[in-house]
Amino acid sequence: METIKTLIFNRFKIISLLTISMALSIVLLMIRMKLHQSFYLLFLVWNLFLAIIPFAITTGLTSPKKINKISLFIFFGIWLLFLPNAPYLVTDLMHLTRTDQSFLWLDILVIMSFAFNGLILFFLSLSDMEKLLKRYLKPNMIMPLMLSIFGLTAFGIYLGRFLRHNSWEIINNPLNIFSDIFNIIFQPNIEAWIFTLTFGSFLAISYWMLKAFSNSKI
């Protein structure tokens, strides 16, 4: 309990701002539901919950209590498994094709607010993990690992959005997901590779731009 209190206290400002931002997203969704008299887009709340998981993992790992290298890499694997859920919210913009044109602006605002929170959770969690890895790995290993994380995250989003897999399937249905991964790797699938390259590049450039801005004295 003391550890949880310490974590909340140390990250009070970030957690408070995230809470306000996510609360706004839910309020916007409730307004949308009232005006449309429909529960459509309610799934965004579940997607946002999944997006919180990687941030919760790295927040726990940044506690003052030092962890050993083996434990870190076990948690790293779990974290990487759930990480695509955060930026996945960006792809929910595809649902705008099914929205009512009379309130298109509201649906854009709702989905964008959830997507924004997903990206912020992704960038914060990734920044935490990068700092942790720098404590245990050689400097020349960090950049290749970061590039791999961006690529694997984008690939994971593709599996979730277009092949409808989720993070839990690695446990309850591993053969199905590994079969699809094998087919993508060893059989021509231009869409999968283009999506992975472009979305991974978007995440990488956005992340490093935000880091540059945060380090700027302007």
* Tokens found for residue 150: 């961006």
* pLDDT classification of 38: cutoffs 50, 70, 90: confident
Q: Which of 81, 44, 49 is closest to 168 using CA atoms?
A: 81
What's the rounded Cα separation, in Å, for the pair 8 and 181? 38
**Could you give the 3-state DSSP secondary structure of residue 72?**
helix
pTM, two decimals, is 0.91
DSSP collapsed to 3 states, 78-143: HHHHHHHHCHHHHHHHHHHHHCCHHHHHHHHHHHHHHHHHHHHHHHHHHHHHHHHHHHHCCHHHHH
pLDDT digit string (tens) for 81-116?
Answer: 999 999 999 999 999 988 777 889 999 999 999 999
* pLDDT classification of 3: cutoffs 50, 70, 90: low
- pLDDT score of 188: 77
Kindly tell me if the per-residue pLDDT of 218 is higher than 80.
no
Kindly tell me if the per-residue pLDDT of 64 is higher than 80.
no
Residues 6+ apart with CB under 8 A from 84: 152, 153, 154, 156, 157, 159, 160, 167
pLDDT digit string (tens) for 138-188?
Answer: 999 999 999 999 999 999 999 999 998 888 777 777 888 888 888 888 887
Does residue 191 contact residue 106 with C-beta atoms inside 8 Å? no
**Amino acid code (one letter) for 25:** S
Does residue 91 contact residue 157 with C-beta atoms inside 8 Å? yes
Residues 6+ apart with CB under 8 A from 96: 104, 107, 108, 111
* pLDDT classification of 204: cutoffs 50, 70, 90: very high
Kindly tell me if the per-residue pLDDT of 10 is higher than 70.
no
Mean pLDDT, residues 119-144 taken together: 94
Residues 6+ apart with CB under 8 A from 118: 47, 48, 51, 85, 86, 87, 88, 89, 90
- pLDDT score of 215: 77
149, exposed or middle or buried, with CB in 10 Å at 0-12, 13-18, 19+? buried
Mean pLDDT, residues 35-58 taken together: 94
Kindly tell me if the per-residue pLDDT of 14 is higher than 70.
yes
